Amino acid sequence: MEKVWINYWIDVGLLISGIIVMISGILKLRELSFLNIYKIIHLPTLSMLHDYFGVIFTILVIIHLVMHFNWIMSMTKTLVKKGKKC
């Protein structure tokens, strides 16, 4: 598989898992208990989804950073040499 497609699927995975982590994290907030979301999905199930997709998200971020490490280092060196601020 070409690197472009690997990047694409990693980015898709990051998007999907990130959205699930964000939504499940918001739904877990006790302050939102008035929404009665726990009648639709049980808290343990919601917590499990949040935890597992958080792990998937973390693994994908690490893979993404490793795959782009050379580019990150190159850009950092370029910015340091030119003295530019981000």
SS3 40: coil
Give the global pTM.
0.78
pLDDT of residue 68: 93
Q: How far is CA 26 from the centre of its chain?
A: 15
pLDDT of residue 21: 96
12, with CB counted inside 10 A (0-12, 13-18, 19+), is exposed
User: From the first residue on, what is the mean pLDDT of each consecutive set of 10 residues in the chain (86 residues)?
Assistant: 91 97 87 70 86 97 95 91 70
Domain spans, the chain: 3-82
Q: Give the percent of the chain with pLDDT over 70.
A: 91
| Tokens linked to 64 | 């993404």
pLDDT of residue 11: 95
